[in-house]
Amino acid sequence: MVDGVQGPGDQGLDAQGHRSSRKKGHGRDYERELRFLQACRIGGLSVDTGSREIEVNLTVNGKKVTVTCPANTRLLDLLRDYLHLTGTKEGCGIGECGACTVIMDGKAVNSCLVLAGSADGSEIITIEGMEKDGKLHPIQEAFVRNNAIQCGFCTPGMVMSAKALLDANPDPTEEEIKIGISGNLCRCTGYKQIVDAIKEAAEVLRRRTA
């Protein structure tokens, strides 16, 4: 239920049971909680979460929302299926690809690894929250100018990781940029255009705040 409107049914969790091999990336604070639930499902243990509904209060892209959903709903599902913010993509569902990256309380996280209940009271920014008054964010503009997009599936997550990086470090080195997007996979561009775009966006944002 979103502001009094009933949402879709139980979306469930992916029961892959795989541990992320990435040493760098997003959302690792929430991974243990999700892995526990996945392991219980794989092992046939009873964890009564899907049948129990919870109320989640969030601020999403500056707007306060209240969502009633099954307790095992992921933040990714809440955003896409309940709030219809479909810019956030699901690629792997196990925290490996970064396509589902959003900013939660100022930090980039993999929304596929965050249970919605864990995000209660948090401030979330998705790709839809980047533009202001119909104008693209400088990071988005830089991605366009540098042709840092091909199929575009990874782009929302890549942009959100770039924003989290530049919010924390307005003048990153090339190596710091590479580390900042190390949790995001792109199979098209080879990353050079993406790194160039983030460098350019950083310069534009620094000039605006100078």
**pLDDT tens digit string along 56-67?**
999 999 999 999
Q: What is the CATH number of the domain that holds 153?
A: 1.10.150.120
**pLDDT tens digit string along 57-99?**
999 999 999 999 999 999 999 999 999 999 999 999 999 999 9
Do 41 and 122 share a domain, yes or no? yes
Which domain covers residue 62, as residue numbers? 28-129
Domain count, the chain: 2
Is residue 102 one of the residues assigned to a domain? yes
Is residue 145 one of the residues assigned to a domain? yes
Reading the block at residue 91, the tokens are 């690629």
Is residue 56 one of the residues assigned to a domain? yes
CA distance 25 to 197: 20
Reading the block at residue 60, the tokens are 């999403």
Do 120 and 152 share a domain, yes or no? no
Burial string for 24-50 (b: 16+ CB within 10 Å, else e) reads ebbbbebbeebbebbeebeeeeeeebb
**pLDDT tens digit string along 142-170?**
999 999 999 999 999 999 999 999 999 99
**pLDDT tens digit string along 26-62?**
544 555 566 655 555 555 544 555 568 999 999 999 9
Do 205 and 113 share a domain, yes or no? no
